[in-house]
Each structure stands twice: as structure tokens, then as C-alpha cells.
A and B are shown apart, each in its own frame.
Chain A
Amino acid sequence: MSSKRLILPLLGAALLSACATKKQALPPTPPAEAAPPAASTAPPTTTTIPGDSPVGTTNVPGSVADFVAQAGSDKVLFDLDSYDLNDEARGILGKQAEWLARYPNIRVTVEGHADERGTREYNLALGDRRANAARNFLAAQGVAAGRMTVVSYGKERPAVEGSDDAAWAQNRRAVTVIAGAR
């Protein structure tokens, strides 16, 4: 750390001089209306405060962010009018189950959703099918049934706006929501 403190000002001076030489080739700059706060007015010690790199974040184990990061996603997508889990969905749910196995006290709600291109009541039933497909897969992977509740929102809560295939594909989904996270 101490060696860096010495090097940084030197490096800064070198950069400044490089800029200065370049500037001479440019047209004269108009007179500055107000001089920028000169470096000299600031106490010199401020430049040497350690740790001025950005404060990093990390996922707290057991958090929602940790769940999403570890499982790859909190949701799985479905084909049109289908509640079959494809390979990608099974992979995600498998990782969700692994994560849930590490935090046996955490409860989840599995939400089922449909795209807008269906009638309202059928889509409520379809959302229920999708939520149960995901729930049943999680249960088969060892997540206790008592930790999971299902709810269908039908077409009432799309993930994204839009009336095209791309939007509909995003909205046909089952989402595993950590209890208390919503």
C-alpha cells in the first residue's frame, strides 16, 4: 500500500504532462469562466485515503439475490399453451431445489403465469397448471411440500409489456418467490 501511495502521484504527474503537451496542438481554449476547484485548495491528505475503489456488493447467503444467482433464475418459461418443463426449466428448478435444500427454513410461493393470448378463466387454470408443474418438480427433488404454496395469476401479471412473441414467451412462466420477498 505504501509503495502505491508514492507511485500514484508520480503517475498522475506524468499523465498531466502528457495532456499538456497534447493541448498545445489544439486551438486556444476560450478563457475559463470559472477556474475549476484547484487541486491545491483541497487538503493534500484526501488524495491518499485508501480504499477509494468502489464498494463491492456480494449476495448474502440465503437472500433472494443469492437464490437467483445460485439457481440461475427464479423463473422457468413454457411453450405456448403448455405446462411441460423443458430441459432448461428442469435444470433451473434442480438448482433451485439444491439451494432450497441448503436453507430448509425458507418457504416459497410458486407463481404460475400465462401470456395475454388466452381467455381469462382458462389462463387462470393454465397458470395453476404451470405453477404445479414447477412445484411438483421441486417436490420430487426433495423440497418438502409443506414449504411450498402455489398461486396462479393467469394473464393478470405479465413480466414484460408488449404484444409480440418475444413478450409472450417471457410471460409464460412459473416463478419461485422466496416467502416475504414480494
Chain B
Amino acid sequence: MRILSLLAPAAALALPAFAPAAAQLRVDINAGLSQPLPIAVPTFPAANATATDAGTPADLGGRIAAVIAADLKSSGLFRPLDPAAFTTQVSVDDTLRPQFAAWRTLAAQALVTGTVAGNADGTITLACYGYDVFAQTELARQGFVTTASNWRRAAHKCADLVYARLTGETGYFDSRVVYVSETGARTRRIKRLAVMDQDGANHRFLTAGQALVLTPRFAPNSQTITYMSFEANRPRVWLYTLGSGRQAAIGEFQGMSFAPRFSPDGGTLVFSMAVGGNTDVYKMNLASRAVTRLTSQPGIDTSPSFSPDGSRIVFESDRGGTQQLYVMAADGSGQARISFGEGRSASPVWSPRGDLIAFTRIGGGRFGIGVVRPDGGGERLLTNGWQDEGPTWSPNGRVILFQRSARGGRTDLWSVDVSGQNERQVPTPLDGSDPAWSPLLP
């Protein structure tokens, strides 16, 4: 996707002399969830009439606005106004010189608008503008050029732009989720890898379901996925290349290999191997395929996850009697327990911001998602369910996706803000488990 820097219109540059010296509009990312910011996202007007595979620009304008509004709403930080309340249609000129008074009467505090054009080469151009309605100032602007089939991604990029400008954090809407789609009786469950946009759109299956597959995770380039497959009844770590659809085991090992994750630079896989009933953590250099053993305790050492700077690895071990979290250097040295207290702590995953580790907390017959600092302090439980497990972080470390199983019932994907608020189900065609979020797409 090509990103354009749009020329600032004269009107936006020349602030009205009477504009109040208002404080900069800003969404407090921690307090914002209790009072989401009212925001207007009217249909984007067409800049021309050139139709593409995604339809006419006029038709696309409404769909793009809807995607942006849904993104912002899902964060829990914004309250998009009902488009039915919008009295007039926004013109191309309005996108550069918004009718602030009209939006003010609707109590919109921010406005996301822009234009859509079709191009002769089949691409589309989306111009995206964000405004502070009360200060009557421009907050952000960006143009996006992309293939027509990518129109939703352009909308996500626009939503990310506005989210970033208003919260001060990077966005996460232009990203994907890989997960395991489940169907059938529990005793003969059919599991398939599936990938979709973070909002559930563009869903597609990657494997046909003959082989049991588990725990897919994205490479930092978002193009390769590592996962575990029971292909030929030999449970091993595999790699799936999205572009080509190529699938290959990473190697032949003495025992079962599982629980794979990429290093932040994509050059290393960290995973577990079970040999003779003892499970340890190993890493593989993907270029040389050289394998290094990182733990050697007689216990279950599994679910390793790199810190975003690649210097450390968090994992779980039952060496102390029950599943608990441990942190070690990336070479396996300095292994130290960081979770204490009652219950068990499992399946840790390091936040891309580095500040927190999300994990599964088991205790009192319940499974919940928790977060803890890498030094073991500040532990908080975010969810509490019959069986919530397997957290994964949004690219900006603000939202956690996990799987939730009802007792004897469905297994679905859910998201929760890192504050513990804004629990939402993520729609999937069938049951879903083992979600893994991609980095922000380029």
C-alpha cells in the first residue's frame, strides 16, 4: 500500500481567528473506556466516478466509513454516531472545510472524513482526514493508494491514523489474526488453520482439516506462520508460507516438537520438544537449522515467548510443582520464576510493547487471562471464565485476544482491553481457538 502525504487545504491551515484555544483533543487510553469519545464517520464522498473491482467510489465511500466506524468502536475508546442522525451528505469540499457547527450540534467531538477515487490502473485512492470538531482544527491527514481488493485495509489504515492521533499510541486495526477453526464432535474434532482480518473480514481456511493442527503464530513479516501439525501422526512444528501455500516441517526430531514462536527478528524459532516424557525449550536458527537446547530441568518447560527486543524469553515450567512463569535470557541463562501465589500460571506471551506478559491463570476451577510485569510485579486478572486461555497481543499491546470455552459448549475467540474492560466476541464462521495476532501490516 502506498501512502500519500496530502497537501493541507488552505482552510484548515488558516484557523478561524475566533477558534478557542482549546486543549488538544485527546483520548485518555485508560479512562476513555468508561466514556468513549463521540465521533462522526460520515460516508466518504466520491472524488471521481471511476469504478474498480471494488465498485464505484460512491458505493465504496459508505462501506469504507462503516469499516472505520466499526474499528474505532471495537476499541471501546470511541462512540461512532449513528449515521441516521446525519442530516446532510458530506461533499468533497466539506472534507477539506468541514461544517463544524453542524457536527457540534450532533455532539460529535471528532470527525473522520475523506474522499474515495478510482484510478485507471484499477487501484483506489483513499484520502483520510481527522478533525477536532470543537477546536475546529485538523488532527491528521493521509492518503492511501492500494489495489481495489485491499479497500478494507485502506479503511483500517485510516482508522489507525485517527486512533494514533487521538490516543498517542500506534493503531492495530490493519492487522490479521491466524487461528484454529474447529468443528465436529470433541472426540473427533476437525481443526483447520484459518486467517482473517482482525475484524473477522476476509476469512479464509489455510488447511483442509485432514491433519490435526494447533497453535499457529505469525512471523514478524506476517507472511509466514509457524504451527504444530499431527500430519502422518508425527506431531511436529511446521511452517506455512501464506503467499505460496507451501507447508514444511522444520525438521525431524527425536520427540514431539510443539509450542513454536518466532523471535522478533524472524530468524529464530523457539519451541518445546518432548523426549522420553521430559519437555524442554529449544531454539532453532532458521537459516542454519542449528538447534540449541535452552532448558534441561526434569519437568515440563513449554510455551516460550521472546521479549520484543529478543534478549529474553518467558516460558512456563512445572519444575516447582505446578505450572508457573519463568524468565530467562535468550541463551537460556538466568532462569528465574516470576509468578507466585495461589493457582497456576500458563501459556505466557510477551507484549510487543515489552511492558507486560499476558498469561492464562488457573485457579479455583476457573481459567482467566492475566497480565504481569516481566519482573513479576503488578499482576492483574483481566478475565475470569470457565476456560479462558491462550492470550495473544494486538500489535500495539493494548488489546488481548484469547479463546473462551463454555462448559460443555462452544469455543470462541474473544478480545479484552488490557485494562480488563471491553470484552468482545470476535466473530468466526465456526468455533475458534488458538488465536495469534499479526504485527501491524505494512
Contacts and interface: CB of A to CB of B under 8 A. Distances in A.
Interface stretch (B11-19, B45-53, B184-192, B416-424): B184-192
A128 B256 contact: yes
A119 B361 CA distance: 10
Interface stretch (A10-18, A66-74, A87-95, A149-157): A149-157
A5 to B, nearest CB: 50
A148 to B, nearest CB: 12
Contact of A122 (B214, B228, B346): B346
Q: Which of B191, B212, B277, B318 has the most CB of A within 10 A?
A: B277
A159 B362 contact: no
Interface residues of A, number: 30
B258 interface: yes
Given A152-B256, A156-B214, A128 B274 contact: yes
B222 interface: no
A161 interface: yes
Contacts of A122: 300, 302-303, 316, 318, 323, 346-347
B274 A163 contact: no
Interface string A111-144: 0000011111110111011011100100000000
B390 interface: yes
B52 to A, nearest CB: 43
Contacts of B187: 157-161
Given A119-B389, A120-B347, A151 B277 contact: no
Nearest to A163: B408
Contacts of A78: none
A109 B235 CA distance: 13
* Most interface-central of A122, A152, A153, A161 (chain B CB within 10 A): A122
A178 to B, nearest CB: 14
A9 interface: no
Contact of A124 (B256, B316, B318): B256
B272 interface: yes
A152 B215 contact: no
A136 B277 CA distance: 10
A119 B347 contact: yes
Contacts of B364: none
B224 interface: no
A61 interface: no
Nearest to A111: B233
B228 to A, nearest CB: 8
Contact of B233 (A119, A125, A151): A151
B387 A117 contact: yes
B179 to A, nearest CB: 12
Contact of B272 (A121, A126, A157): A121
Interface string B35-69: 00000000000000000000000000000000000
Contacts of A126: 300
Contacts of B360: 119
B235 A151 contact: yes
B2 interface: no
B279 interface: yes
Interface of A: 83, 109, 116-122, 124-126, 128-129, 131-133, 136, 151-154, 156-163
29 contacts: A83-B277, A116-B186, A116-B387, A119-B346, A119-B367, A119-B389, A121-B259, A122-B300, A124-B214, A124-B228, A124-B235, A124-B256, A124-B259, A125-B274, A125-B279, A128-B255, A128-B256, A128-B274, A128-B279, A131-B277, A151-B233, A151-B235, A153-B230, A156-B214, A156-B230, A157-B188, A158-B186, A159-B187, A160-B187
Given A122-B347, A125-B258, A151-B234, 17 more contacts: A119-B323, A119-B360, A120-B390, A121-B259, A121-B302, A122-B346, A124-B214, A124-B256, A125-B279, A128-B255, A128-B274, A132-B276, A136-B277, A151-B233, A154-B214, A156-B214, A161-B187
